[in-house]
Structure formats: C-alpha cells, structure tokens
Structure 1
Amino acid sequence: MTSFDALLPRPVELRPADGLLSLDAGTTLDADDADDAAEPAAAWLRGALRAATGLPLRPAGAESTIRFATVATVTEPEGYRLRVDADGVLVEAADPAGAFYAAQTIRQLLGAPAFRTGAVHSGPWRLPFGEIVDHPRFGWRGGLLDVARHFMPKADVLRFVDLLAAHKLNVLHLHLTDDQGWRFEVRRYPKLTEVGAWRTESRAGHRTEGVFDGRPHGGYYTQDDLREIVAYAAERHVTVVPEIDLPGHMQAAIAAYPALGNTSAQLPVWTDWGINENVLNVADGTLEFLRHVFDELLEVFPGTVIGLGGDEVPTTQWRDNAVAARRMAELGATDPAELHGWIIRQIAEHLAAQGRTAYGWDEILDVGPLPAGAVVASWRGEEAGVAAVRAGHDVVMCPEKHVYLDYRQSELADEPIPVGRLLTVEDVYRYEPIPDGVTGAEPGRVLGAQANVWTEFLDSPRRVDYAAFPRLSAFAEVVWSRPEDRKPEEFLRRLAADHLPRLDALGVEYRPLAGPRPWQTRPGVPGFPRD
C-alpha cells in the first residue's frame, strides 16, 4: 500500500481519511450493471491485479467491492472521482478514459508490487481511505518513439505503450521512416521494406568522430503488426499518430526506388546521422507515390492526426534540377524553398480530403500557407508555437531544449554517449508547455505537449529505458497536473521513494538519480555535448 501523496502524476484534489480497505479472496471488481463505458477499465484492472495479487477479483456488477461507473456529474474530459471507504471503492468517471486512469491510480495506491506480472507480495493488500478528484490539464500528452533510426521490435513497442499508459500519457507519436530506415510495410511498393528497411552499418556515436560499428541493422512492421499496436494502444487510451517524414529524411525510400530522387545515383540506406541533402524530387510520379503510401497508412491508422514530417529539408538538389525548374515555372515560384511548401500542401490536402489532419514539424510554417486545421509540432523552440497559434493552427509543444530525451542527463564523465544539451529530471519537471504571451483568446490552441525519444544513440530497448526514464515520469506530471501543484523537491521525494520502485517492478532500466550503473555506460562511444 502507498499513500495518496505518493501518486504520480499528482492528482488535482486529494482528501485522505483514516482507515484502510483490505482486499482478499472475497473482493469483487466490476462495472455497475449495464455500464458499457466503464466495463473495459474494470476488466483491465481485474487482469492487472489478478496477475500481481493472485486474487480472483470476480465480477459482481453493482454489488462489487470495487465498482466503476460513468456519470454525468464528472464533467472534465478524461476525469474521474475515486472514493475508498469501508463500503469499498467507487470510481465515477466522465468517460472510458477517465475510468482507465482511475484504474491506474488504484494500482499505484496498492504499491509497487501491484505493477508486477506475478504474485510476489506476501503481506495484505490494502487501499487507504479517502477521495481523489482528478483530470488532466492537457488533451495531448504524448511521447515520440523513433523506430526509424534504430528499429524497436513489436513487443517492445507494446511495452512502451504500457509505460505511457502507466503514466497517463495518451499519444504515441511513431516516427516510422527516415534516411536510416523505412519501417512501414507498403504493399504497393514492396522494396520500401525489402531494401529500405536495412542498412549495412550505423555510425557509432556522434558523426564528428567518423566511427562506424560495422554491424547491419534493420527491421520493419507489417501492416498487421501496426494494426495490433494500434488496437493494443486504444485499449489503454493511447492514440498512435504515425509519421512518414517528407520531403527530406527520405534516403531509405530513394534507396528502394531511385526514381524518387534528384540524381541518377543508386543510393544506399543512409548509415550516418544528421541533415541529408538527398530529398525527394517534385515530379508527378513522386507525388503519386506519396499519395499511395499515405492511402495505405490511413487504412492501418484510424486516428484523425497523421504526421507528414516536413523538417530539415535542404534545397540544394532542387537548385540545379530540370524537374524542379519545370515545377517552379508551373507554380510561378522564384525560390526552390517554395517547392518544400508545395509538396507539404499537396499531401496535407490529400489527408484533409479523407477526413484527416496533417501534423508536421514547425518548419512547415516557414514555407507558405498551410491548409486550415494543420497541427504544428513546435520543436526548434517556443517561438514557432506562438506563431502557429496566432496563425490559427493548433500546436503541440515539444521544444528540443526542454523535452528531447536523447539529450545528456548530467555532466558526469561516464554519461553514455553525451549529446545535445544538458537536460536533467529537474529540468524536464520545470518545463511549462504554455509559452509566454499565449492566451485562450488566440485563434489556435496549445493542445498539449510531447517528449521526444530520438534513437540515433539509443540502439536497444535498454538504452531507450535509460534515456526516457525517469525524465518521462517528470514530463507526465507536467502535462497532467496544474502548474501551481508542481513542487520540484516534493516531486523528487515521490519519485525516489515511490515511483522508482514502480519502475523497478515494471522492469524499466531507468537511469538512477545518482548516475548510470556500470553496465549503462558506453565507454569509447563518442558524444558531442553542447550548451
């Protein structure tokens, strides 16, 4: 058992009371009769706690010891009210998501052993008396997982979904394609995965040192794999937002189909990191290719928001290219950079025609007008987010200096592959997603924020664990709880005393607060720290 003040993220209202509720073989758990909206959360919690406690927790409808219901009196989206007293546990939720988050809260209240998948706890199972009223601050509480630079096996993606859900995060931004690998099966274009999903080796550490590992790397997801991930995530109220990055970061696609490029060269899948001059050409055939790719993507991912990238697009190859020159003449363009905006608009409009919303990195603001409804991910700083909101676009805040979880976590000499800025747990916890000067009167909205896990330097699930946690735990409280309730010292106490044991129980190989364990270091692999 744990106390109300050990929960993470911190709820809106906590009203502890004296007393404990014991769970035993006679404890029942169910949704109130005929409440189809609450039943999935009850079923999920029953399965999770059966595994951890060994208790049967049989369903008993409205007579259950632990009862779930959706009610109109809880009005905040994804919100819930949880009461524990001598009569049992009553969860009243606004919607299915709220019921699920209440279930996560109950699991936290039972203590770290409740996060295991087998019964190891020998003492009684108890819940503290009291009441919790809770709802999230933001509707978009996301985490990006880059599976293009280093492929993440399907089972590990499913596990990452579970970790997001355990932190009440609700968006998985899945970065599926890049120069270094194409991970999405496109049945119309099989070479995208036959050729584009594999590279001969990878740069070891930062590019400044010129070191490669000599080890082939690759992998991809079938469409059914991704449908499985989407369904699994939906059961945990996580929406999967897929991204096909274009027109830059496309060398893996060009390696598979050279006609997509601007030169006649047969390129390999890229083995390096960084910004790449090999971008898509602007021929009609390339546009047709992209539409076909996105059509198959939309068959797999039912969510409204679809990522199309748009970041880091050098125009060098368009400046002395006959196809680009003809397209510029057709458009009346005077600068090759206008081709970047043109191709983004073509795909954004294609998505809009099918009832979907384009989601792109903030460079898409720099290259001409965007279709109405396009969502902007503000990553280069906060200024682009402010500009997007004022231009009428919804925004997801993910500025690299605050929420890029591949960045180094300390100044310690043994910090593994130290790249980017220094970004500690405390730094992430202090981040405020609403930029200065943005108000509710702006034509666009800040939907929320996401933390990004880029994997150039994270070549395994163990390395992802190390980079993401516990900083992602801090981020979860940033996007769930009210700013006035965030107290760094108190958070660090809860993290160390209560939440790290939960991560231990889940098998997460997080970075200890004092520094890396010996096997988490990467001696000899060069980094590139910066201010």
Structure 2
Amino acid sequence: MSDKPLFPEPDVALIPAPGRVSASLPGGGTGYVVDADTEIEATEGTERVARWLRSTVGAATGLPLHPHRTSGNRILLRIIPSLAAGLGSPEAYRLCADGYLIAIDGASEAGLFWGAQTFRQLLGPEAFRRAPVTGRREWEFPAVTVHDAPRFRWRGLMLDVARHFMPKEGVLRYLDLMAAHKLNVFHFHLTDDQGWRIEIRRHPRLTEVASWRARTKFGHRASPLWDQKPHGGYYTQDDIREIVAYAAERHISVVPEIDVPGHSQAAVAAYPELGNTDVIDTTALTVWDTWGISSNVLAPTDTTLRFYEEVFEEVLELFPADAAEFSAFVHVGGDECRKDQWRESVTAKTRITELGLAGEDELQSWFIGHFDRWLAARGRRLIGWDEILEGGLAPGAAVSSWRGYGGGIAAARAGHDVVMCPEQHVYLDHRQAPGEDEPVPIGFVRTLEDVYRFEPVPPQLTEEDARHVLGTQANVWTEAMEDAARVDYQTFPRLAAFAEVAWSRLPAPPERDFADFERRMAAHYRRLDALGVAYRPPAGPRPWQRRPGVPGRPLEGPVPNPWTPGTDL
C-alpha cells in the first residue's frame, strides 16, 4: 500500500497522537475482525512482541492468538529497518488493517512494540483488562493505516521510591503503564535522606539500617502531623534484576539514581564514617523522618570514594549497559548539596587546599568528576541534576535540567546532552488545580492543559544546540504520596499529556489543540479505568482522594515561559 493517504482520516482516539492515520478501505469502518481463529505470524526477531501480545491482549480478550500455521486470518509482525529512514526514527512503526490481515511493521523491535501498543488501543478499552469481562468472541478492528515515530529518543518518567517505598509489584505495574504510553526511560530514584532502597551485599547496613525510618512526616515538612509507624523497604538484587528484565521486554531503559554527595543522610546513618565526623557526631544520626534538604552530606574523603565505588560496582552489575537504549546511563544526583558542614570541616578544607580548588562548590565538582571518570572507564555515562554544571563538567556527562530551562540551555550550548524536566512544568507532585480540595497542595498549579502545553526545546537554542536535547521526562517525587493510590492521583492523567508531548510532533505550545486532546482523553480515561489507575477525574478529586487538614506548600506567581521575550530561564 502507498504511504499516501487514500481516504479521509478516520476518527481514532489514540494517545499519544500518531504521526499520520488514514483509512485503509473506502468509507473506513471495520477492516478486520479479531476472533478465535486469528493467529500471529511472528517473523524473525518479532517473537518477544508476539509473546507480549498473547500475554496481554490474549488475556484480556480470551483469544488464544496461536502461532500462524494455516492460511486463515492473521496478525503479521515484521521488522523492516528501512522504515527508519522514511519515518525518521529506529522506533518508527506502520500498522495497516484491511479486510485481509493486520500488519504491524517496525523499523526495529522497539518500533514493532510501539505498534503493538497502538494495536491494543484500537481494539478498545476492554483490551486493557487482565481477563475477559464479557462473552465477546469477535473484536472489530478499524480499517486504518497508521504511520508513526517518536519526536524524542528519551521519553522518561522518574519515580522516587526513597521517600515512600513502592513494592516491586507496583514498580512493574508502572513499567506497564509507561509502555502503554510509549515512554521508554524509567529513572529509578533509589536513595535519599529518607531511605536506601537497593541491596548492596558488600555493605549490608544499607538495607539493615538505611532502608527504614521510625516515623514519617505526613504532609509538607511544616505540617504538625506524623505517621508514627515505621516505614521502609528495599529491593533485593534479584528484585532489581527482575525489574530491569521486565523493563527491557518493554523496551524501557532503567536508569538508577544513587545520590552523591548530598541527599545521603540515610547512608551516613548506616555507616557514620561516610559523614563529616570532625563537625558532628555522625553516630547519632538516624534515617531522616521529615522532608526538605538535609545538611548531613558525604565527607570528601578517600574512604567515602572507595565505599561508593564498591556500591557502584554492584549497581553496574545489576543494571547492564546493553539492556536497552539508555541503559549505559547512571544518575548520581548531585543536587541540593548543602555545604555547611564542609565549610566547618578541617578535612574538607584540607582537601580543597590539596586539590587547589577555589572553594566548596569546586569541591562538589571534584566529587562528581571523580565518579564521571570512574563510570566512563567502565563504559558508562554519568548523568546528574543541573547543579553538576557548577565548577565544570566532563565532556561525556549529561544533565537533567530541573531548575527550569536555564541549566539545560547552558548544558546544550556547552556540548552536553540534556534531558529537559523543569520543575515548573513537569514535576507531577505539583498540585493539579487551585481548589482547596486538592490533596496536600505542593508547588505551582500545573493542570492537564499546562502539561500538554509544555515544550521541551526552548526557542533560545540554535538548531545545532537543540540536537543535544535527548528528550524529556516527568518527575514524581513522593514526599506527600504515602501510597500507590496517591502516586496514581498525582501522575495521571497528566502523564498521558506528557507522553504526547514526548512522542508526538506537536506544534508550538500556543497552537496546540488541547480541545482535541481532551476529546481523545474521553476514550483514554476508559483505558485507565480498565488498568485500575486511580487518576484525578476531570471534575476534581473524589471524596476519598482528598486529604483535608493535611498542610502542603502551594506556590503562587507566574511560571516562567521561554516563549515570552526577556524571560529569565
């Protein structure tokens, strides 16, 4: 079939929006019926996608989707590398359904998998359940041809499991939710002041001590409320291997984050020698039970460097570089490192003098630079929050731009790859509406429409510099999210809008058709219902989603817009 559309564009409610949809038959309508006789013809390299279709779509529909053995109706899976040139990405796919078969072609296995996700959406919301809910034996499929490819290579979600632990089953569920939205990078925030979530066998106290706290602040750190029961948990090394393998099956890279040198009080509580022992009694520290930025940071000593090298040795073994496209990346945090203890520490001052550094800021840069070189020597790439730019950054390191667009612009102009995730736009812990019913209101108001109008590439970048923008990600910080339902509420439906921003080639924000997105969301809410997602309804929170009397920290004022002349980014 020619790539040129033959018939008027059909009305399909796909999210994220595909590049081009056309009717495959005159008048559109149903082009195919998927039933008990439908088989899957899996050509070379497509077997994993066929297995995924049987385990998800097959389970939801009750259809066997046997391997193709007869001349009957079938779903044909193929990898056609030449599609990449025509559609501009190795993750491109083409789906065509007419009266004879459904063909899903991918420029790569990843592209084929994204095409299979579109196939599932076109079957209808019931295809997102885990078992059949009716006796339906025939599933009508629209007569459409879809040509599609992502705008950005890095389409990410960061999930903070350090502040509130999410058990392994919840993580696997979020990987499925990411795949359903064609997101492909899972930034796994594993350590912080409030908890350490990954087993390191060489240092067992990281899970024996640092993985749990005696109580937890309920609400913002200014809240007088406490949850007095212990909170904790961690992933065993086999849990991590399972998560990475599960993600790889869905063409999702898992990027682990181990925070240094700040956000490290939990580690110091477990191993006091890691802290600034000449300033405070680090043996008295416990895992932090409140929110904010702790002053208890790592000491810039050889002991600390060797300890974290041993940590990273185990991390690299658990997160192999070849698992998926961005699996070589390791996130080291590097943000919000308070220098108070370093300014008082004789050890830190001596290190600054020995290295000929200008002060504590350059000491942090030296700390990050050490692990940049260490990771590079092992074939890995360091990525960190935009503070790692301060004091200089090695050429191969990448930057997560969170404090607005400014860090990303500076990094791209300096030749560093960038992931755009400005807190003012894509921090999904920020409140979704100004109303008093919003649970634990944090940060700026970021509505569904606000997220839909987010643009990852600011106009201040030249075309050449913009090539350093690998993509974008949404960040979910869980200080005020005490359970999976709260994470769902803050994340959805805004993650659907973000996914369209990351995948689809949308016009500039002022010209984006949010009304059309809302129209398609009407169908997508039914998919989220089938998946059991406790999203925020368009009309506002349900009674049980509210948190009356739990203080938050709402911020007021305009959010910086890079399309406004003279904006300070």
CA distance in 1, matches of 2:150, 2:134: 31
Equivalent position to 1:135, from 144, 149, 153: 149
Aligned ranges for residues 31-430 of structure 1 at < 5 Å? 31-32=42-43, 35-36=44-45, 38-60=46-68, 65-75=74-84, 76-123=89-136, 124-262=138-276, 263-265=280-282, 266-302=284-320, 303-366=327-390, 368-430=391-453
CA distance in 2, matches of 1:375, 1:463: 31
**Equivalent position amino acid for 2:216 in 1:** S
What SS does the corresponding residue of 1:207 show, helix, strand or coil?
coil
What SS does the corresponding residue of 2:430 show, helix, strand or coil?
coil
> In the TM superposition, what is the alpha-carbon distance from 1:426 to its structure 2 partner?
0.5
> In the TM superposition, what is the alpha-carbon distance from 1:487 to its structure 2 partner?
1.4
CA distance in 1, matches of 2:258, 2:173: 22
Q: Deviations over 1:202-240 (max 9, x none)?
A: 111112233322121000001110010000000001110
Structure 1 window deviating more from structure 2 (331-340 vs 198-207): it is 331-340
> In the TM superposition, what is the alpha-carbon distance from 1:289 to its structure 2 partner?
0.5
Q: Deviations over 1:31-87 (max 9, x none)?
A: 13xx12x22112211221211111111111695610000113311211011100011
> In the TM superposition, what is the alpha-carbon distance from 1:121 to its structure 2 partner?
3.3
> In the TM superposition, what is the alpha-carbon distance from 1:25 to its structure 2 partner?
1.3
CA distance in 2, matches of 1:443, 1:165: 26
Question: Structure 2 unaligned runs (5+)?
Answer: 1-9, 321-326, 557-569
**Equivalent position amino acid for 1:191 in 2:** R
**Equivalent position amino acid for 1:126 in 2:** E
> In the TM superposition, what is the alpha-carbon distance from 1:370 to its structure 2 partner?
1.2
Equivalent position to 2:536, from 494, 511, 516: 511
> In the TM superposition, what is the alpha-carbon distance from 1:486 to its structure 2 partner?
4.3
User: Do the aligned partners of 1:416 and 1:522 also contact (CA within 8 Å) in 2?
Assistant: yes
> In the TM superposition, what is the alpha-carbon distance from 1:269 to its structure 2 partner?
0.2
**Equivalent position amino acid for 2:319 in 1:** F
What SS does the corresponding residue of 1:396 show, helix, strand or coil?
strand
User: Do the aligned partners of 2:81 and 2:108 also contact (CA within 8 Å) in 1?
Assistant: no
CA distance in 2, matches of 1:74, 1:298: 34
CA distance in 2, matches of 1:188, 1:440: 47
**Equivalent position amino acid for 1:167 in 2:** H
What SS does the corresponding residue of 1:359 show, helix, strand or coil?
strand
CA distance in 1, matches of 2:334, 2:58: 46
What's 2:565 paired with? Answer: none
The answer to whether the aligner puts 1:493 opposite 2:519 as a matched pair is yes
> In the TM superposition, what is the alpha-carbon distance from 1:92 to its structure 2 partner?
1.4
User: Do the aligned partners of 1:7 and 1:105 also contact (CA within 8 Å) in 2?
Assistant: yes
**Equivalent position amino acid for 2:131 in 1:** G
User: Do the aligned partners of 1:392 and 1:444 also contact (CA within 8 Å) in 2?
Assistant: no
Equivalent position to 1:27, from 30, 34, 38: 38
Change over 3 Å in CA distance of 1:69–1:418 after alignment to 2:
same
CA distance in 1, matches of 2:365, 2:66: 57
What's 1:483 paired with? Answer: 506
What's 2:3 paired with? Answer: none
What SS does the corresponding residue of 1:205 show, helix, strand or coil?
coil
What SS does the corresponding residue of 2:114 show, helix, strand or coil?
helix
CA distance in 2, matches of 1:329, 1:61: 74
> In the TM superposition, what is the alpha-carbon distance from 1:442 to its structure 2 partner?
2.2
Change over 3 Å in CA distance of 1:234–1:466 after alignment to 2:
same
RMSD over aligned Cα atoms = 1.3
Equivalent position to 1:521, from 546, 557, 562: 546
**Equivalent position amino acid for 2:100 in 1:** D
Structure 1 window deviating more from structure 2 (519-528 vs 351-360): it is 519-528
Change over 3 Å in CA distance of 1:415–1:55 after alignment to 2:
same
CA distance in 2, matches of 1:121, 1:391: 58
What SS does the corresponding residue of 2:234 show, helix, strand or coil?
coil
Structure 1 window deviating more from structure 2 (46-55 vs 342-351): it is 46-55
- Runs (4+) off by over 6 Å: none
Identity rate of aligned residues, in percent?
55
What SS does the corresponding residue of 1:451 show, helix, strand or coil?
strand
**Equivalent position amino acid for 2:330 in 1:** I
The answer to whether the aligner puts 1:463 opposite 2:480 as a matched pair is no
CA distance in 2, matches of 1:249, 1:255: 12
> In the TM superposition, what is the alpha-carbon distance from 1:260 to its structure 2 partner?
0.6
Q: Deviations over 1:65-123 (max 9, x none)?
A: 10000113311211011100011101111000011011110100000000001111344
Question: Structure 1 unaligned runs (5+)?
Answer: none
Structure 1 window deviating more from structure 2 (485-494 vs 153-162): it is 485-494
> In the TM superposition, what is the alpha-carbon distance from 1:321 to its structure 2 partner?
0.8
User: Do the aligned partners of 2:217 and 2:223 also contact (CA within 8 Å) in 1?
Assistant: no
Change over 3 Å in CA distance of 1:430–1:443 after alignment to 2:
closer
